[in-house]
Every structure is written in C-alpha cells, then in structure tokens.
C-alpha cells in the first residue's frame, strides 16, 4: 500500500519562534494520533531545519528542505548540499518547484542533477512538475508534464525513494484549485508514465501528491481520487489548525 503524505511547504514564511511553536503544537497533536498509512512532512526554511528535525523523533513527523544545490561542496555562497541535509538527517527535499523554475531559472536538466545528488545521499526528493495557465489554455498540459518527467528523470533509478508532486502553476497561491477530475487525469498520466518507464510495481508504490490551493475545504474530494496520494500544501500549511484538519481528513479516509 502506498503512503498518503500530507506535506507542508512553508516557503519563506514564519519567524523562528512561530516555527517552533508550530512544531510543538503539531507534535503534541501527532503524538496522540493513530496515523495509519499517513505520513506528515514539514518542509521548513533552511535556517529552521535543525530545530524542526529535533521534533522528528519516532517518525511522527518527517522534515523536508525546500531546495538543494547540485554540487557536493565548495564555494557556492548561500547554498546547501545534499550531504549537509543527510548529515542533519533531513528526510525529504523539494526540487523543481515552479517558484524556483520561475524566479531562479531552474531548468529540468538542473533539477535532474539535484535529484541525482539527493538520491546519492538518501534524501527523498519531492519532485514538482506542473503546467502554466498558458500551457493549459493551449491544450498542451499532457505534453508539458511528460516532457518534465522525461527530462527530470533521465538516467535516474527509482525504487520508492521518490515522491512526485503535481502542482499546476495556475493553482499555486491563487485560491483556484484544480478540480479533482483535472488533478486525477494528470496523476493517472504520471503513474502510467512511471509504469511504462520503470515498472508497474514502482508506479503503484510511488506517492503522487497534489499541490495548488489545497485546504481543509477541498482536501477530502482531492484525496478521494484513486491516484492522489496526499498534498504538498503551501498557504494552508502555515496555519496549525488548518494543517491539523487536513491531517485528520487524510487519516479518516
């Protein structure tokens, strides 16, 4: 059975004390909760990773970074390596987020290099892919998704050490969510591609998350889709009550 992952992506938000308070409340909540096949992940800003990972004992909550550099080490001011993440026992790392593609001009080739580095150091990549509004309106969504998958997963071996997040760019931070049917269509496409390229075993075990204005009001319908295995949640993950509500929904399914 594949995991249902409820992952918060805090992006560049929260002061240190707010982040710490959130982690205290979250772990208090999770410690008395039966999670079943649900895994909870918090992708915190880099300066808070160590603090956040102190809360990660007993696998109640897993910690993710939001970015990694493709090099091993060296003169790359401001960057973080996969080996650093591994040395802090960080479990996950987001790569290929549309904000990094847009603002920092990250290409599929670069994302492919980052993915390889993360795998080398056994940090599980959360690979984000998704089309822009313009691409959707042009009717080339499937082409864009398949091209992103092909390029970012070139020469990659996967077991189930990869999470994919489908994040339609037009749904991120806009309040406009993909309908469950729109999301399911693309999740199915991704799983089919993984099955053809790798194996049906791998495609059945890999978690494919939806991201884009996911919130307590719409999570249930999205998670009901057969190929949606959780969410990568931005805005709504900043609020502990909303995050708890979304975990509750995932656990109840």
CB of 243 to ligand 13P, least distance (A): 11
Q: Which is nearer to ligand 13P, 55 or 243 (CB)?
A: 243
Task: In the chain, count H helices and then E strands.
Answer: 11, 8
| Burial tier of 241 (Cβ tally within 10 Å: 0-12, 13-18, 19+) | exposed
For position 168 contacting ligand 13P by CB under 6 A, the verdict is no
Q: Is 105 a catalytic residue?
A: no
CB 228 within 8 A of CB 250: no
Do the strands 163-166 and 62-65 form a parallel or antiparallel pair, or are they unpaired?
unpaired
Question: Among the options 70, 131, 135, 167, which is catalytic?
Answer: 167
Give Cα separations from 49 to 20, 96, 199 (angstroms): 11, 19, 34
For position 228 contacting ligand 13P by CB under 6 A, the verdict is no
Name which position in 233, 246, 247, 250 contacts ligand 13P (CB under 6 A). 233
For position 36 contacting ligand 13P by CB under 6 A, the verdict is no
Pick from 181, 180, 182, 128: which is nearest to 153 by CA?
128
d(CA 172, CA 208): 17
Question: Among the options 97, 99, 135, 187, which is catalytic?
Answer: 97
Name which position in 123, 214, 219, 247 contacts ligand 13P (CB under 6 A). 214
For position 172 contacting ligand 13P by CB under 6 A, the verdict is yes
CA angle 85, 187, 194 (to 5 degrees): 70
Name which position in 210, 234, 246, 249 contacts ligand 13P (CB under 6 A). 234
Q: Is 135 a catalytic residue?
A: no
Stretch that binds ligand 13P, among 22-30, 116-124, 210-218, 241-249 (CB under 6 A): 210-218
Name which position in 26, 211, 219, 229 contacts ligand 13P (CB under 6 A). 211
Instruction: Say whether 159 sits in a helix, a strand or coil.
Output: coil
For position 212 contacting ligand 13P by CB under 6 A, the verdict is yes
Which parts of this chain interact with ligand 13P (CB under 6 A)?
9, 97, 167, 172-173, 211-214, 232-236
Q: Which residues are catalytic?
A: 97, 167
């Amino acid at each position: 059975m594949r995991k249902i992952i409820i992952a918060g992506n805090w992006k560049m938000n929260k002061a240190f004390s707010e982040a710490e308070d959130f982690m205290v409340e979250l772990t208090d909540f999770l410690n008395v909760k039966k999670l079943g096949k649900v895994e909870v992940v918090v992708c915190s800003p880099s300066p808070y990773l160590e603090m956040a990972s102190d809360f990660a004992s007993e696998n109640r909550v897993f910690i993710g970074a939001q970015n990694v550099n493709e090099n091993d080490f060296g003169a790359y001011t401001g960057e973080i390596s996969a080996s650093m993440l591994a040395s802090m026992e960080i479990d996950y790392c987001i790569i290929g987020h549309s904000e990094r593609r847009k603002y920092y001009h990250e290409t599929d080739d670069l994302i492919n290099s980052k993915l390889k580095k993360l795998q080398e150091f056994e940090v599980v990549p959360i690979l984000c892919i998704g089309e822009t509004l313009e691409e959707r309106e042009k009717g080339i969504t499937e082409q864009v998704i398949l091209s992103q998958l092909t390029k970012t997963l070139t020469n990659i071996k996967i077991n189930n050490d990869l999470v994919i997040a489908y994040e339609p760019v037009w749904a991120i931070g806009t309040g406009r969510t993909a309908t469950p049917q729109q999301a399911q269509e693309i999740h199915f496409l991704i799983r089919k591609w993984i099955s053809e390229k790798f194996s049906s075993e791998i495609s059945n075990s890999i978690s494919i998350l939806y991201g884009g204005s996911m919130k307590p009001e719409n999570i249930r319908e999205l998670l009901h889709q057969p190929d949606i295995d959780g969410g990568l949640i931005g805005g709504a993950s900043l609020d502990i009550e909303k995050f708890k509500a979304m975990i509750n929904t995932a656990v109840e399914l």
